[in-house]
Amino acid sequence: MAWVWGSPGDGGRIPSGSGSTSAGGMPWHPAHGTDARGRAQGWVLPQSAPVRPSPCSRRVAAACRHGGHTGVLGHPWGEWDRGVPGARWGRGWARVWGCWGVPGCGGEVRGALGCQTRLLCPQLAHAIRLLLEYTDTPYQERQYRPGPAPDYDPSDWTNEKEKLGLDFPNLPYLIDGPTKLTQSNAILRYIARKHNMCGETEEEILRVDMLENQIMDFRMSLVMVCYNPDFEKLKPGYLEQLPGKLKLFSNFLGDRKWFAGEKLTFVDFLMFDVLDQNRIFEPKCLEPFKNLKDFVERFGALEKVAAYLKSSRFQKMPINNKMAKWGNKKL
């Protein structure tokens, strides 16, 4: 048996029955443990290889004898979730905060629990707020806050989530009359469709669809660094590859006014959000890319967006939750 640690592509096969994490950090199991070519999406380690220990406490290590590492984000196991029905990951029988990746406890996955990454990533709601403000859509916001370290008690959310009538309880969610939605991009699309902001031509629709997913990959690459206990060690590597990622977005935008073309679409709200976050992370990162700088300034100058950004409703920071190593405090 083997387990996979989430770096992309050494070409090894994933043995039947192994648990693992993909390059994107989502859990694998024997039903979908290989890509179309039957190759692993990570570094395959034999079970006999030393398991990299996580920076977890002794009590958590005791719950997961083989070290308790949780995959790409590297968060320690939440012992407060140990034994919750359905929350059974590997031998530790615990839920991982955000569930990005499978713990390195021999690798076997037993009934993976649905992700709670939205509790980790309050930033996922910001583009939704921007779109609601831009479209003059009245809304009320309910913010859920985890408790203090070291447990970050999630009961503010968990006590309520099963009472809302959501098909897939998660954060963020939107309730609009009889309509109840989760998944941040599904919520954005729902609002955008009401205002014809999903693209009109086939080319625009394809650009929107592709960029929507590319932005999420880009966003999560920063999230994985910010929530990692080794943040200071990982930050230089992130900054080193950042210009290459921004260049792709710059090339994709080209000389267009907006990312789908001449008309504003919901992906512009996502793009503004992630570019602004990276600009906070590294203030000079957009300097080599004039069209991206112009895009951010143009978007921020939209009348209703500008009014919101100047209002008391807008909070520039924190963009991450308390357990993050960066972006977790007010400016």
* Predicted local distance difference test score (pLDDT) of residue 294: 98
Higher pLDDT, 305 or 153: 305
Q: What per-residue confidence (pLDDT) applies to 125?
A: 86
Q: Please name the CATH architecture into which domain 122-141+198-309 falls.
A: Up-down Bundle (1.20)
Q: Count Cα neighbours of 127 within 13 Å in the Cβ-side half-sphere.
A: 28
pLDDT given at position 193: 98
Dump pLDDT digits (tens) for 36-67: 333 333 333 333 333 333 333 332 222 232 33
Phi first, then psi, for residue 144 (nearest 5°) are -100, 135
Residue, of 256 and 147, whose pLDDT is higher:
256
Q: Where are the domains of the chain?
A: 1-115, 122-141+198-309
Q: What is the pLDDT of residue 78?
A: 34
Tell me: the pLDDT tens digits for 79-114? 333 333 333 333 222 223 333 333 333 333 222 222
Q: What is the mean pLDDT of the chain?
A: 70
Does the pLDDT value for residue 186 go beyond 90? yes
**Residue 63 DSSP class:** H
CA distance 182 to 170: 6
CB 223 within 8 A of CB 238: no
Task: Indicate whether 167 pLDDT > 60.
Answer: yes
Binning pLDDT at 50, 70 and 90, where does residue 312 land? confident
Q: Where are the beta strands (DSSP E) in the chain?
A: 2-5, 19-21, 27-28, 43-46, 173-176, 179-182
Q: Has residue 288 got a pLDDT over 80?
A: yes
Task: List, for residues 187-202, the tens digit of each pLDDT value.
Answer: 999 999 999 999 999 9
How confident is residue 123, by pLDDT bands cut at 50, 70 and 90? low
